[in-house]
Chains A and B, each alone.
Chain A
């Protein structure tokens, strides 16, 4: 029995996607063709095609009015049509697909590195679920505040390291913008948008209030994360539990939810959760500040390896979130280690494609050029296409390089006040301390990554 896999998608993702899917499935039944249809609609991806499905398929049908990535169908015959064509005449499409497959044609698959990276990123975004998704929503809303705050503070140091203490000066103003405003909002925004991700709009108020409390009682970003989740789930629970008569329902979002949820979250934060988290946070801060060289190197190694392990996935984001959170506590070492370690995987791979051409395919050598740029921009995901092609060799290599970079950065005592930006933030005065050593750490990791690849990757034939 022939097998066809298909993807259907339309701009709104409410109706056509599913009609096309039904139509293809029905036609498949009639024609005795095994049919699996992935729908990319407003509910997200359903009935997702597995690698196994695609491998077994004789041909691929894409019926979509939106951009559907074709990368995963490399080597298969693809029929690409508007979604309406599948609704109207699915049988003709199936015939067309089977005939095409018969004739042995393959469709060209785009091997552009940028599109692969952005596809991968959006795929990951779709896959994010549960607590991780909520945390990432919070972090992504928080980042602009960290950038604005970190760079303003760094600028104030242009006038001298203590210049901001003179009231009325520009340095003091910059400090006021960055330190006492932007950074003060960091934790409330983080908490507010974690709660927003869980409970929609009603979550924002209790989340931000909880985050503000976490900040003011010294529970820091850890407290903020807890406050955000508490606020989100409590609001959600209240929304489901409280049943009001129809004519009073308008009071729910405006009066009852924000007040009750904020009250519960606030009291929990102050009496129950705040104090122990404050203790943990203080312990963490004093450990990080008074760390011995050996411990610093160890932390750098671990953070560095985490950054490279899944290149932008949950482990990477855990290390990243930890470091960004610490910026609010004026601890800048881990941020430096994490950014450097996130830059070396694409850089090391790019270097390796230049130095050791006989170990990479022609496509990979081409992809090496944009990888340089992704590396210096701190887009760790630039390493994904290489890692996807040969994970067992590439991932350990880039982890080794990143771990070394992270460790060196911590050993040299480099601090970084900006949460992102790659080399482009480095020229801003005082954003990074020990710039020379920082560059050294990044270069060392890049070279180690390339050498590791030289050792573990076998020579290719031809």
Chain B
């Protein structure tokens, strides 16, 4: 199981256009839809918003990780987006978020997929990891940061 089975350069957006929480979630889900990761965009948006209602996934430190587990997801995938300006995501630390990971998994997922996602999540805690994502110049560089987890 490798990182590049979840994410590739097409799933990376270096400059998100959205300026608020709901539109950034939609913008990220749109990336998934374009890459045919999901079958039902509206369903995925609904699930993501439901999850946010239970508690924000803006975990602070400039990171947000909206995620969806649904039958409308074909395979486990991660989309990465970055906002230069920062977006008010209602984060725990009340600061704007710059790095966005949208994680989608089907209802029935293999443990190995979930374990890799867990590993990615663990890395987000580390300052170095976040900084190299913030400073990455292009999609290729983001991929190489992610591949080294």
Q: In the complex, A88→B105 CA distance in Å? A: 25
Q: Does A131 contact B (CB under 8 A)?
A: no
Check A22 against B109 for contact (C-beta < 8 Å).
no
The answer to whether A12 and B125 touch (CB under 8 A), given A17-B118, A43-B115, A82-B55, is no
Q: Name B119's closest neighbour in chain A (CB-CB).
A: A18
Check B118 against A18 for contact (C-beta < 8 Å).
yes
Check B54 against A16 for contact (C-beta < 8 Å).
no
Check B117 against A84 for contact (C-beta < 8 Å).
no
How many A-B residue contacts, CB cutoff 8 Å?
84
Which of A14, A23, A88 is the one whose CB lies under 8 Å from B118? A14
The answer to whether A87 and B57 touch (CB under 8 A), given A14-B114, A18-B121, A18-B122, is no
Check B92 against A88 for contact (C-beta < 8 Å).
yes
The answer to whether A14 and B67 touch (CB under 8 A), given A65-B55, A84-B92, is yes
Check A26 against B125 for contact (C-beta < 8 Å).
yes
Q: Does B26 contact A (CB under 8 A)?
A: no
In the complex, chain A residues 72-114 whose Cβ is within 8 Å of any chain B Cβ: 82-85, 87-88
Contacts of A115 in B (CB 8 A): none
Contacts of A87 in B (CB 8 A): 59-61, 92, 125
Check B111 against A43 for contact (C-beta < 8 Å).
yes
Contacts of B103 in A (CB 8 A): 14-15
Q: What per-residue 1/0 map shows which CB atoms of B45-68 lie under 8 Å from chain A? A: 000000100111101110001010
Contacts of A14 in B (CB 8 A): 67, 69, 103, 105, 114, 117-118, 121
Contacts of B147 in A (CB 8 A): none
Check A88 against B121 for contact (C-beta < 8 Å).
no
- Tell me whether chain B's interface is mostly helix, strand or loop, or mixed: mixed
Q: Name B110's closest neighbour in chain A (CB-CB).
A: A43
Q: Does A42 contact B (CB under 8 A)?
A: yes
The answer to whether A88 and B114 touch (CB under 8 A), given A14-B69, A23-B125, A65-B55, is no
Give the Cβ gap from A143 to chain B, nearest Cβ, in Å.
23
The answer to whether A11 and B54 touch (CB under 8 A), given A17-B118, A41-B118, is yes
Contacts of A39 in B (CB 8 A): 118
Q: Does A21 contact B (CB under 8 A)?
A: yes
Q: Name A27's closest neighbour in chain B (CB-CB).
A: B125
Q: Does A19 contact B (CB under 8 A)?
A: yes
Sorting the interface of chain A by its residue count into under 10, 10 to 19, 20 to 34 or 35 or more gives 20 to 34
Contacts of B54 in A (CB 8 A): 11, 65
Check B122 against A19 for contact (C-beta < 8 Å).
yes
Q: What per-residue 1/0 map shows which CB atoms of A27-59 lie under 8 Å from chain B? A: 000000000000101111000000000000000
Give the Cβ gap from B1 to chain A, nearest Cβ, in Å.
13
Contacts of B146 in A (CB 8 A): none
In the complex, chain A residues 278-336 whose Cβ is within 8 Å of any chain B Cβ: none
Contacts of B109 in A (CB 8 A): 42
Q: In the complex, A285→B117 CA distance in Å? A: 52
Q: In the complex, A42→B69 CA distance in Å? A: 10
What is the size, in residues, of chain B's interface with A at 8 Å between Cβ atoms?
Answer: 30
Q: In the complex, A11→B55 CA distance in Å? A: 9
Check A12 against B67 for contact (C-beta < 8 Å).
yes
The answer to whether A12 and B51 touch (CB under 8 A), given A42-B109, A88-B92, is yes
Q: Does A200 contact B (CB under 8 A)?
A: yes
Q: Does B140 contact A (CB under 8 A)?
A: no
Q: In the complex, A42→B55 CA distance in Å? A: 17
Q: In the complex, A42→B114 CA distance in Å? A: 7
In the complex, chain B residues 79-137 whose Cβ is within 8 Å of any chain A Cβ: 92-93, 101, 103, 105, 108-109, 111, 114-115, 117-119, 121-126
Check A22 against B57 for contact (C-beta < 8 Å).
no
Contacts of A41 in B (CB 8 A): 114, 118
Give the Cβ gap from A47 to chain B, nearest Cβ, in Å.
11
In the complex, chain B residues 12-65 whose Cβ is within 8 Å of any chain A Cβ: 51, 54-57, 59-61, 65
Q: In the complex, A9→B51 CA distance in Å? A: 14
Q: In the complex, A44→B54 CA distance in Å? A: 21
Check A16 against B57 for contact (C-beta < 8 Å).
yes
Contacts of B124 in A (CB 8 A): 19
Q: Name A10's closest neighbour in chain B (CB-CB).
A: B55
Q: Name B112's closest neighbour in chain A (CB-CB).
A: A43
Q: Name B76's closest neighbour in chain A (CB-CB).
A: A14
Q: In the complex, A285→B97 CA distance in Å? A: 68
Q: In the complex, A23→B105 CA distance in Å? A: 24
Q: Name A201's closest neighbour in chain B (CB-CB).
A: B108
Give the Cβ gap from A196 to chain B, nearest Cβ, in Å.
11
In the complex, chain A residues 417-442 whose Cβ is within 8 Å of any chain B Cβ: none
Q: In the complex, A417→B49 CA distance in Å? A: 48
Q: In the complex, A88→B91 CA distance in Å? A: 10
Check B59 against A88 for contact (C-beta < 8 Å).
yes
Contacts of A26 in B (CB 8 A): 125-126
Interface centre among B65, B103, B117 (most CB of A within 10 A): B117
Which of A22, A82, A84, A200 is the one whose CB lies under 8 Å from B121? A22
Interface centre among A26, A43, A82, A83 (most CB of B within 10 A): A43
Give the Cβ gap from B72 to chain A, nearest Cβ, in Å.
15
Give the Cβ gap from A134 to chain B, nearest Cβ, in Å.
15
4 new A-B pairs (CB below 8 Å) besides A15-B59, A22-B122, A84-B60? A12-B51, A14-B67, A14-B114, A39-B118
Interface residues in chain B, defined as those with a beta carbon under 8 Å from any beta carbon in chain A: 51, 54-57, 59-61, 65, 67, 69, 92-93, 101, 103, 105, 108-109, 111, 114-115, 117-119, 121-126
Between A and B, 7 residue pairs with Cβ closer than 8 Å are: A14-B121, A15-B67, A16-B57, A22-B126, A39-B118, A44-B111, A83-B55
10 tightest A-B CB contacts, nearest first: A22-B122, A18-B118, A18-B121, A15-B121, A84-B92, A22-B125, A88-B60, A15-B65, A19-B121, A43-B114
